[in-house]
Amino acid sequence: MLTAARHLLAAVLLVAFAAISFWSPRSWSLTDRPRIDLVAPIPKEADLLKMRRFVSYGITIPKTMPDIARLIPGTTETAPALGYSFREVDILRMPIFAYEDQGYVMFVERAGSYQAVPLDADYLKLLRQAAGRDLSAGYSFSVWPYLWGWSMAVGFLLWLGLQVLDEKRRRDASGIL
């Protein structure tokens, strides 16, 4: 029974790793890359031209992996939006952790980069006044989507444990110490 479970687990891990290797846009090496999660678009009631000028004073964050494209075909950048800046740590094309980088930012997305301005509590208050509502209400950054890389390590350790138990069972059955 242990042998079949061990072989099945090994097959599942190999197929999962092959799929990750083929489809994941992440790097093979240990990387710590900046990312921005969309919190809310800036409503049209706000002065978008003023918001765009404000963002132009921000920092440029290169896109090191493709995100979901929010660009409308034929445009060079998105409308300003409220986002959450974080960093993703990954290895072997799998994310293993994510943590806060700049926190809330106002950003525009371009083809190969983001232009972003970090927002402190005072700027968030001004944005709330300009937008007419609190755009960050109800948002909380979740690290869970960036921890699934650990499942491969746990699967490998489980396979290793089954291997040791199976070897012990075979030794006990054959009388080898």
Structural domain includes residue 69: yes
Determine how many CB atoms are found less than 10 A away from the CB of residue 135. Answer: 22
Structural domain includes residue 81: yes
Environment class of residue 76 by beta-carbon count within 10 Å: exposed (0-12), middle (13-18) or buried (19+)?
Answer: exposed
pLDDT of residue 43: 86
Structural domain includes residue 98: yes
Structural domain includes residue 108: yes
Structural domain includes residue 5: no
Could you give the CA distance from residue 161 to residue 177 in angstroms, rounded to a whole number?
Answer: 19
Could you give the CA distance from residue 119 to residue 54 in angstroms, rounded to a whole number?
Answer: 11
The answer to whether the predicted template modeling score (pTM) of the entire model surpasses 0.85 is: no
Domain count, the chain: 1
pLDDT in tens, 77-128: 788 899 999 999 999 999 999 999 999 999 988 877 889 999 999 999 988 9
Structural domain includes residue 169: no
The parts of the chain modelled with pLDDT lower than 50 are: none
Structural domain includes residue 16: no
**Full domain range(s) for residue 85:** 28-149
pLDDT of residue 82: 94
pLDDT of residue 132: 87
pLDDT of residue 74: 60
